[in-house]
Amino acid sequence: MMKTYKGFTLVEIIVALAIISTLTLVVMQIFLTMTKLEIESQEEDYARTTIQNMHRLFVADPAGWEEAFYVSYGHPEGTLPVGSVFRFDSQWNLLLPSEIGVYTISYDYETDETTYSVFVYDLSVALVLSEKRTIFGSIDLGRMVVQT
């Protein structure tokens, strides 16, 4: 009498490996997409917080908020941005004006003297950029009228 062995054929093993490989690729793609979305969400949260800090300092002192912004991030007084741009590293630490960072906030800040004792200050964020994408577009942070 002849013994028969039970097992998988080569074709069955190849089909099983193909199915497992396909499922693994799908799961990995989902994981990478979720990771990318999480990173983008964190960037947006840090950008929002930074813009809220800008607005808070602008409301407190519309004439000197830029220097106060640097001081609030631990930089010495007298530090002012170059060309209406704040730059940040990958951890959203504010960099000095001469340093190049991962994130950039471009803003428009205008002062208009309407009379001898009334000043109007406008602040808006033009762009918030990372190295890879635009995080936010135009955001109006308001107008302050100060009488001296």
Tokens describing residue 91: 């951890």
CA–chain centroid gap for 144, Å, is: 26
| Residue 143: partners with Cβ closer than 8 Å, 6 or more residues away | 120, 121, 122, 123
> In the predicted model, what is the mean pLDDT of residues 128-136?
93
pLDDT at 117: 81
Strand 85-88 vs strand 103-113: parallel, antiparallel, or unpaired? antiparallel
The structure's pTM equals: 0.80
Structure tokens at 60: 């407190």
Contact call for residues 66 and 79 (beta carbons, < 8 A): no
Contact 108, 80 (CB under 8 A): no
Q: Helices 65-72 and 10-60, interaxial angle, to 10°?
A: 130
- pLDDT value at 31 more than 80: yes
Task: Check pLDDT > 80 for residue 58.
Answer: yes
In angstroms, the CA 3 to CA 102 distance is 69
